[in-house]
Amino acid sequence: MKIFLIGYMGAGKTTLGKKLSKELSLNFIDLDQYIEKKHKASIPFIFNLVGQDGFRLIEHRTLSEVINFDNCIISTGGGTPCFFDNINRLLESGLVIYLRMPSSNLVKRLETAKRKRPLISSFNANKLFEFVDFQLKEREIYYNQANLIIDIEKNRFITLVQIIKDQLKNF
């Protein structure tokens, strides 16, 4: 069994993935952390070194590796499903869950973590909202292809786990 968590940066993919992996007794892989370990460099460093296009290629190649792992939950980067043919590869390989959150709430979460996120590190509050809102609307065409869409803000963790467990029975 494989579960892929997709959604915009800051939506809680890693946090939910870690908790869910314990509940379901599955391994947890954060794709960004996997990339950092494999390349012995931080995502911001890699991003600055090779640019967005180079990073997306590294991300795609790394996804091609981890997509073959069994019995795991994989938290993808926010852009992972939106490049190459990644969304289709995810859908062919396991249960894809989109953790949906409104732009305004994402911005609140991202304000405190900007320095670790190369796409937004230089933005002030207004620019950050404009960027997140625009990019989220662009990416939703990919995110909305998920097998399951969960509104993060409307559900407590225990409810999220139960929703996912119920979906696994039908998958």
* 8 A C-beta contact, residue 113 and residue 100: no
Read off the DSSP letter of residue 95. Answer: E
Residue 119 maps to which CATH number? Answer: 3.40.50.300
Q: Which residue range is the domain that position 77 belongs to?
A: 2-170
Contacts of residue 136, Cβ cutoff 8 Å, sequence gap at least 6: 8, 103, 106
pLDDT in tens, 16-57: 999 999 999 999 999 999 999 999 999 989 989 999 999 999
Residues listed for the chain: 171
Percent of the chain scoring above 90 in pLDDT: 71
Q: How many independent structural domains does the chain possess? A: 1
* pLDDT tens, position by position, 155-166: 677 788 888 888
Q: How is residue 66 written in tokens? A: 């981890």
Tokens of 40: 């012995």
At residue 134, the pLDDT reads 95
What are 71-110's pLDDT values in tens digits?
999 999 999 999 999 999 999 999 999 999 999 999 988 8
Rounded-to-integer distance, Cα 43 and Cα 41, Å: 7
The Cα–Cα gap between 53 and 67 comes to: 21
Cβ-proximal residues to 132 (8 Å cutoff; 6+ apart), any chain = 8, 103, 106, 107, 110, 120
